[in-house]
Amino acid sequence: MGCTTAFGQGDNKAADIVAKAVQDLGGDRYLNVKSQLGRGHYSVLKKGGVISFQAFSDAIVFPEKERTEFKGGGSHTVQVNTGDTGWIFDGDQEIIKNQNANQVAGFKQGIRTSLDNLLRGYWKGQADLSYVGRRQASLGKRNDVVRLTYKDGFAVEFEFAADDGTPQKALYTRHDVNGGDIKEEDHYAQFVDVDGVKLPFIIDRFTDGVQSSRINYDSIEINKSIPESVFAKPASVKDAKKDIKM
């Protein structure tokens, strides 16, 4: 992934690229999004084929509250995170359990690598923003690349179309259980205007260069009131199975 960096370009250049992307997505309207309700389908891919296909609904109160519900193939799963805590409803086993430290860390990693985290500045005070350079995207196209480097050394790069600033992808490396490196990329596509805010309705995940999943939104609503009860751990399996009205 070769880059070219002009001498003297740095933090100001990176900030300009981020600001350009924010304007492309709606400016202040984008920055003022406080919550998001999404519905769509989630696919897991392996060896070029779909091995799992489920409907999902997602309720987010930025920056660190999220409830995601999956249904399909007779399966029902709910995952909820609120900062340092979280719980999961496993419909196959009909149990509710608290998330362990690794699961919570995985959620926080997802925030760190998210486009919203970068563009809305939730990272400030936790990471440094820098300009990497320009990277070949496709024939005749190049992307501007910026990097967030967190205090613990973890880094994530974001690519934006050099011409209009549209977000293209996020790239980072994570470790597997054996300590090996795994390269992850999230590719953003099909931007749709939602109340004056452009949002990607398709997010493709590539793991070590091979597509591993797709998030495909059917609908997204922004700045809807989401009650705190949506994130509360249910008292029973029966309660966990109930449809949440939002």
- Per residue in 77-97, pLDDT (tens digit) is 999 999 999 999 999 999 999
pTM: 0.92
- Per residue in 47-71, pLDDT (tens digit) is 889 989 999 999 999 999 999 999 9
Place of tokens 């705190």: 228
- Per residue in 124-156, pLDDT (tens digit) is 999 999 999 999 998 889 999 999 999 999 999
Q: How far is C-alpha 209 from the geometric centre of its chain's CA atoms?
A: 18
Own/partner contacts of 97-104, CB < 8 Å, gap of 24 or more, are 98/233
Place of tokens 């449809």: 243
Strand partners, 135: 3, 143
Cα-trace Rg, the chain: 19
Measured in degrees and rounded to the nearest 5, phi and psi for residue 126 equal: -115, -20
| Tokens, residue 88 | 């999961």
Q: Which fold has domain 3-241?
A: outer membrane lipoprotein receptor (LolB), chain A (2.50.20)
